[in-house]
Amino acid sequence: MSEEEYVTMIHKFRENFLTDKAKKTFRKWNKTMAFEFTDLEKTFYFLVEAGSPNEVIEGEPVKADVKIITDSNTWVGVMKGEIGGMKAYTSKKLKVKGRMPDLLKLQKLMK
């Protein structure tokens, strides 16, 4: 697994905020999204301000409102549709930390 592939999938997830439907749904959102890859010991994050995502940054944010914790292969599989997000979650290959309303809203971006 190359770094380019899992980082590309973070960018793909980030771009989901840019659709017309997402812009409307997330217009009042001001949150920090973090992605921790347990197998690589790396974390990336981006800020969402008024529903618009900023650039992806490598490193640990001061505070993450939503944090996805997984290994890089699971993340890429979920984003490519090879692994169901709910299956990865229930099998504990993917963990998500955050407020339940935020998590439920984010499900819309995973489809």
Q: CATH number of the domain that 38 lies in?
A: 3.30.1050.10
Phi (first) and psi of residue 83, to 5 degrees: -130, 130
Distance from first CA to last CA of the chain, Å, rounded? 23
Given a cut of 60, whether residue 111 has pLDDT beyond it is no
pLDDT tens digits along 21-33: 999 999 999 999 9
- Residue 1 pLDDT more than 80? no
Please say whether the beta carbons of 69 and 75 come within 8 A: no
**Residue 111 located in a structural domain:** no
Q: Which residue, chain included where needed, has tokens 């995502």?
A: 53
pTM tops 0.85: yes
Longest Cα separation, the chain: 36
- Domain extent, residue 45, equals 3-104
The answer to whether residue 44 scores a pLDDT higher than 90 is yes
Q: Please say if the pLDDT value at position 41 is more than 90.
A: yes
Mean pLDDT value across residues 30-39:
96
Q: Is 29 helix (H, G, I), strand (E, B) or coil?
A: coil
